[in-house]
Amino acid sequence: MFDLIVKGGTLPDGSTADIGITRDRITAMGRLEGAETGQVIDATGDLVSPPFVDPHFHLDATLSYGLPRINASGTLLEGIGLWGELKKIVTQEDMVTRALEYCDWAASMGLLAIRSHVDTCDDSLKGVAAMLEVRDKVKGYIDLQLVAFPQDGFYRDPTARANTLRALDMGVDVVGGIPHFERTMADGAASVRELCEIAAARGLRVDMHCDESDDPLSRHIEMLAYETQRLGLQGRVAGSHLTSMHSMDNYYVSKLLPLMAEAGVAAIPNPLINIMLQGRHDTFPKRRGLTRVKEMQAQGITVGWGQDCVRDPWYSLGTADMLDVAFMGLHVAQMSSPEEMRRCFDMVTVENARILGLEDYGLHVGAVASLVVLDADDPIEAVRLRAARLAVLSKGRLIARTPRGDATLELPGRPGSVRRRHPVA
């Protein structure tokens, strides 16, 4: 007896299976013909995937686009300045309201686990309090992991160090940092060392905004990998952005990547934001501002696509759709072979789940019963179409439905409805 069966779906590996769900767990997979069940979701011919995971977001700033004004230069630095103006005037209640609205978008898109940085450079820590409240409010359907993020610099901002420690004491999950924003390279390196030591002492994960710059000499990822190894943090550390690696000397990178692989440091590029913000000081040729994704993967480094921003001081667009993120990443990193396109889907699902350390994630007996039914035949088609989320299940419950996106054609002599699914035979 199951509470719910998802019938006939195609899994990302191409096999088909019914998925039997009891309470919040997957309790059977395979042919479940004639089994007793409460509810049936017919997924025949549709892709059934584990939920999307976003490893890099800013939930305290989201949906604030235009407040108090628009980012005129489109640069990272003006965005940071603008956020500095906004965070003085925004209330805790505003932040909670906007974050919850975003979480509704995310849930409807099958995005059910989010790692969000929360700014700790504010003596009131109202953003931290707001995000802890949101984490609690959404926990029934979204796993929200919070990173203590000293936006204005762990050392550069006079009270950031104390406030970051307070945020961790309040229950923030992960240690963040921003070494390239410190005043000197030496301060940046020192911040990486101290923040990793704090994580090691508290048994926490680390995720730093690292080398989000076009400066080829911004090399804090080297220190992050070194400290990871020294402190035994392998598999628990991620470097977000790493855009400077795009511009680094090739010989240096040939030494850096094996160090990252040895240290088990993951990388989180954010293609929508990186392509938008980086290269702004260039004339032509203009750099793409994305880190070396395929080169890292070739070394065995885990790389996950992150979203970073939706409608905030840094980015005016966005819909909480991780397939948009994968689509952009695929283009900017030129991941065009079938294997690479397929990998882009994994980079917003299973690989991101690994970075967050999610337990019991996936489609197998014993896993948490969270999944998405997509209007697509396979993962590549899901990326191509940014396919509709026909059904979203979280922890055993159906939480969202979207109708298929077929258009009606009004052309004489042509069939009446347009189907954009077009799988390889």
Q: Which residues bind Zn ion (CB under 5 A)?
A: 308
Residue partners of 312: CB distance under 8 A and separation at least 6: 58, 61, 62, 63, 64, 65, 79, 83
Q: Which residues pair with 266 in a beta bridge?
A: 238
Residue with Cβ nearer Zn ion (46 or 308):
308
Given 36, 194, 212, 340, the catalytic residue: 212
| Smallest gap from residue 422 Cβ to Zn ion (A) | 35
- Catalytic site residue 212? yes
If we measure between CA atoms, which residue out of 327, 339, 336, 265 comes closest to residue 302? 265
Distance of CA 41 to the CA centre of its chain: 28
| Smallest gap from residue 118 Cβ to Zn ion (A) | 11
| Smallest gap from residue 167 Cβ to Zn ion (A) | 16
Q: Which residues pair with 393 in a beta bridge?
A: 371, 398
Contact present, 139 and 145 (Cβ < 8 Å): no
CA distances from 179 to 211, 383, 387 (A): 7, 34, 38
Residue with Cβ nearer Zn ion (266 or 373):
266
Nearest-angstrom CA–CA distance, 165 and 172 = 10
CA distances from 173 to 146, 205, 286, 356, 376 (A): 5, 8, 37, 11, 35
Nearest-angstrom CA–CA distance, 200 and 132 = 22
Nearest-angstrom CA–CA distance, 210 and 205 = 15
| Smallest gap from residue 17 Cβ to Zn ion (A) | 37
Residue with Cβ nearer Zn ion (226 or 315):
315
CA distances from 97 to 290, 316, 375 (A): 32, 19, 31
Residue with Cβ nearer Zn ion (60 or 308):
308
Nearest-angstrom CA–CA distance, 265 and 206 = 10
Residue with Cβ nearer Zn ion (132 or 238):
238
| Smallest gap from residue 361 Cβ to Zn ion (A) | 23
Nearest-angstrom CA–CA distance, 24 and 395 = 5
| Smallest gap from residue 271 Cβ to Zn ion (A) | 13
Residue with Cβ nearer Zn ion (308 or 378):
308
Q: Which residues are catalytic?
A: 212
